[in-house]
Amino acid sequence: MAKPGSILIVDDEETLRYVLNRKLSKSGYQCDEAGNAEQAIAKLVLKPSDLVVLDIEMPGKHGNELLPEIQTRFPETSVVMASGVTDTRVIAQCIKDGAQDYIRKPFTLDDVLLSVTLALEKHRLELQLRDYQKTHQYKQGLRSLFLGTIRTLVSTLEANDKYTAGHSQDVTEVALAIGQRLNMNSEELDDLYWGALLHDVGKVAIDPRILNKPGELTTEEYRHIMTHAMVGPHLVQPLVNDAVVSIISHHHDHYDGGGLNQLIARDDIPLGARIVAAADAFDAMTSDRPYRPAMSLPEAYIEMKRCSGTQFDPVVVNTLLGLSQHSI
């Protein structure tokens, strides 16, 4: 097991710093505290930390303003945002600026512990890959190095939710079956595998209370959930190629261009993203969810046909429906 790292907790609430320090210290991490941005930089200059747990709304320089400075001056330090700010634009910008995760207050201590653990593990993996790339040239060898870790990460994200357990693996199997029918080559299928497996990894930054809400989502809640398609690419970008990043970025794009904040349509959407969009929706339809029971296969077929040409690529839908029940 990897050795626990050092953590700097940056928050103007002294009580919260104390509680987080106590929880993380009991889990083996070496913790220090800072009450504002200036104290945080001073602490990092004296002794860089492996990870910073960073609030946004603090006196003086806010946490989202401090984040780029940490990334520039201390590139070996990971950052997890832990804040009450709910603006999806701020959340997306923090992830774009390099935050490994974004946890919304009020959070549980276990939420923070899981986020810290995953962020440090991902950072260690990135360092391993960086060292590996210096001495090895073969792509397959590189991918085999982190295959087990990525699978573990995805499984961990889904393990605590009976509704999504195994979802990413199921989507991957359906997507690959479609890709094979569409005569994708081995490299394209490899990219499709990773894009499908990691398509929902950005949900680590989504409030689980919204993600598992049993009733209809509000517009703001829906927009919050959809930020996972922006968060995910930034989380995995150091580990995968541009084709995989594009699949994750566009897997919620609508074929006709009518998706949320969508800029491209039809064949401009990567084929892998069009395939994952259909496979993702089909698996969701045929699985129980907090807000509805699973559809039967005939009902799902009808719904996929109804959305063909608007939400989904007609060629992909026809290929999906052409697969035997045994294949999917």
The predicted pLDDT at position 67 comes to: 95
Which DSSP string corresponds to 95-135? Answer: HHTT-SEEEESS--HHHHHHHHHHHHHHHHHHHHHHHHHHH
165 within domain boundaries? yes
Neighbours of 206 (CB within 10 A): 21
39 within 8 A of 14, measured Cβ to Cβ: no
Question: What CATH number is associated with residue 231?
Answer: 1.10.3210.10
151 within 8 A of 198, measured Cβ to Cβ: no
Q: Which domain holds residue 265?
A: 159-322
- Based on the fold, state whether residues 170 and 37 are members of the same structural domain: no
Between 262 and 176, residue with greater pLDDT: 176
Question: What CATH number is associated with residue 39?
Answer: 3.40.50.2300
133 within domain boundaries? no
Q: What is the DSSP letter of 288?
A: -
Q: Give the strand order in the sheet containing 101-104.
A: 30-34, 6-10, 51-54, 78-83, 101-104
Cα separation, 281 vs 276, whole angstroms = 8
The last residue of a domain, from among 96, 117, 138: 117
- Based on the fold, state whether residues 253 and 314 are members of the same structural domain: yes
The predicted pLDDT at position 97 comes to: 85
For the chain, percent of residues with pLDDT exceeding 90: 48
The last residue of a domain, from among 117, 143, 167: 117
Distances (CA, A) of 59 to 13, 86, 94, 98, 208: 11, 18, 18, 22, 29
Please report which confidence band the pLDDT of residue 328 belongs to, taking 50, 70 and 90 as the band edges: very low
Task: Please count the structural domains in the chain.
Answer: 2
Would you say the C-alpha torsion 90, 231, 209, 160 has a positive or negative sign?
Answer: negative
- Based on the fold, state whether residues 74 and 187 are members of the same structural domain: no
The pLDDT tens digits for 266-322 are: 999 999 999 999 999 999 898 876 667 888 888 999 999 999 999 999 999 999 998
Q: How high is the mean pLDDT of the chain? A: 84
- Lowest-confidence region among 79-88, 130-139, 290-299, 316-325: 130-139
The pLDDT tens digits for 37-65 are: 999 999 999 999 999 999 999 999 999 99
- Based on the fold, state whether residues 269 and 203 are members of the same structural domain: yes
Cα separation, 108 vs 208, whole angstroms = 11
261 within 8 A of 318, measured Cβ to Cβ: no
pLDDT at 236 over 70: yes
pLDDT at 239 over 70: yes
pLDDT at 326 over 50: no
- Based on the fold, state whether residues 109 and 176 are members of the same structural domain: no
128 within domain boundaries? no
278 within domain boundaries? yes
Between 227 and 42, residue with greater pLDDT: 42
215 within domain boundaries? yes
130 within domain boundaries? no
- Based on the fold, state whether residues 163 and 111 are members of the same structural domain: no
- Based on the fold, state whether residues 95 and 199 are members of the same structural domain: no
